[in-house]
Amino acid sequence: MMAMAFVSCGNGGSKGNDKAQGIVGSWYYNDNTFYTFNEDGTGSYTAFGSLFGNFTYTESNGQLVLNYEGSTDPTVFNYKLDGKTLTILAGESNLGSDTEYKLK
């Protein structure tokens, strides 16, 4: 199951960077659902083949904070990065289980 907004607990990723360079790229859940993180701290989320939204992001202590255009509430999630696999950690979020995205 996939969710569009994540709030969770956990550890992972790089620590203390304004932008997490390790996550730069496009990360696919499947062919129609993916995140794109750009080097300049901007990105986008596409769900079910349609653009869900553009955002800016910051990273600190293994936690990503996405600020979507037009929204005042940030989307926050913790993640683990292992090579070409980005795992969004479910923690106490509405995901139900960790979700893996593959770098393409």
What average pLDDT is seen over the chain? 81
Residue-level pLDDT at 60: 80
Residue-level pLDDT at 93: 61
Residue-level pLDDT at 51: 95
Altogether, the residues listed in the chain come to a count of 104
How far is it, in rounded angstroms, from Cα 32 to Cα 94? 21
Residues in the chain where the model's pLDDT stays below 70: 1-21, 92-95
CATH of 21-103, one of 1.10.150.170, 1.10.1060.10, 2.60.40.10, 2.40.128.280: 2.40.128.280
Residue-level pLDDT at 82: 93
Residue-level pLDDT at 73: 94
53, 36 Cβ separation under 8 angstroms = no
69-103 burial code (b ≥16 CB/10 A, e <16): eeeeebbebbbbbeeeebbbbbeebebeeebebee
The pTM for the full model equals: 0.76
